[in-house]
Structure 1
């Protein structure tokens, strides 16, 4: 009996470890309009397709980049909340003028014992305000980031999403990019565990392409290993962007 329990626990741990981790910023809209002038958003850390959450400590940084130029610190606006039963953060923001708004959080590294490493996903989402969001394919200057080649807002389900993975400001060739759907209403199911997380490899210029078949939010995580370990362990450095398909 004891052997069976241990075997079951081992299988459960292996299955849990197989799911991809994602930093998440999920706003209630990707476009601010005259009818909706504010955006509410939630920051969390999870396995989004399986709807299994992890604790997200208060980030080291949370800010918005306006028109790829001005940075506004928003860390003090965060309010504690729960997502998937775990610690998360919420806030609301009202753009003061038309333009492009890129929201970014840089988390405290997450200790993942199942993989014997730490995980730091620098996560962003881009909002268009009043139809004036231009130059959306411009880097915002993060340690690692995905620069979209497909407009990151105002998309139809079934559209291709394409981006470039940057690491220290340069294209990161042959980066593995994990893709997951935010299965918020649990209406989707995967035929096999291998289909929970999709994977693509960027080309020699750091460019990747993926077709998003369903409406809703899709997360893309370009994964590399940081040059320096963190607290004696390898540090997974993720460039994450979230895009809504309508």
Structure 2
């Protein structure tokens, strides 16, 4: 008869070893990027902007995860929404599928670009991931309409204008689901490092803030560049995984915000 005590010690040792390996893995938060280049458009650029959609870990500069064809891609300006889905072109980044689009703003306005990506199966977490992502591009100095909702199931509504920001400015926003604030929502924040930063410890990779009872959160951005804000909420309905199982859904409300250093003169 096998020694039950010995067997239990062996299983416990295996479990502890597995946990130690898992703990040693770097913390990696999934973020859907939607990055415009340039961040602002005007006469100098002719109103032209290139938008890049990549599913990745922005602070760690990867790895990139393959995107399926997005369900929706559009722009909302002056209360009018126009589909841009046909303007998306597939590109390959680090060997994985991503998307890019060209757009020309023909009149002053705050153009809210947004994307609903195809659900992404994350087997390590056992969830399907859908990150509804927005970015606001001001065209020709309109400075109006940046706080408008576009009607996504989950959405961050900015209380701070999400462009024209200096390094160190505080960004504030409201996390909503179906247009209503989400009390106590947890918001993950990452800097798009593009490989320029090595975090001193894994805990520094993803910053975390919690919204108050009205769904409002605040965060001071300590470096120039792009900052992603992701409120991750459990979806109301499960989805079917590629393995045929009914699994929960992570719905992300994402918003990208850009900062610059204040010039000396």
> TM-score, structure 1 length as denominator?
0.92
* 1:215 has 2:229 as partner: no
1:64 paired residue number: 75
After superposition, residues 75-86 of structure 1 pair within 5 angstroms as 75-86=85-96
Instruction: Give the 3 Å change call, closer, same or farther, for CA 13–94 of structure 1 in structure 2.
Output: farther
Give the SS at the match of 1:11. helix
1:115-169: CA deviations, max 9, x gaps? 1111110001000010113032221111111000110111111111110001011
Q: Kindly tell me the number of residue pairs found equivalent between the two proteins.
A: 239
* 1:116 has 2:130 as partner: no
* 1:87 has 2:97 as partner: yes
Q: Is the 8 A contact 1:59 1:105 kept in 2?
A: yes
Shift of 1:13: 8.8
Q: Which runs of 5+ in 1 are unaligned?
A: 1-6
Q: Is the 8 A contact 1:30 1:154 kept in 2?
A: no
1:169 paired residue number: 179
Q: Which runs of 5+ in 2 are unaligned?
A: 1-16, 241-245, 261-265
What is the distance in 2 between the residues matched to 1:167 and 1:62? 19
1:176-224: CA deviations, max 9, x gaps? 100000011x111111101100000100000000011000100000111
* 1:201 has 2:222 as partner: no
2:254 paired residue number: 240
- Please identify the structure whose Cα radius of gyration is greater: 2
What is the distance in 2 between the residues matched to 1:144 and 1:199? 18
2:14 paired residue number: none
How big is the alpha-carbon RMSD for the aligned residues of Structure 1 and Structure 2?
1.9
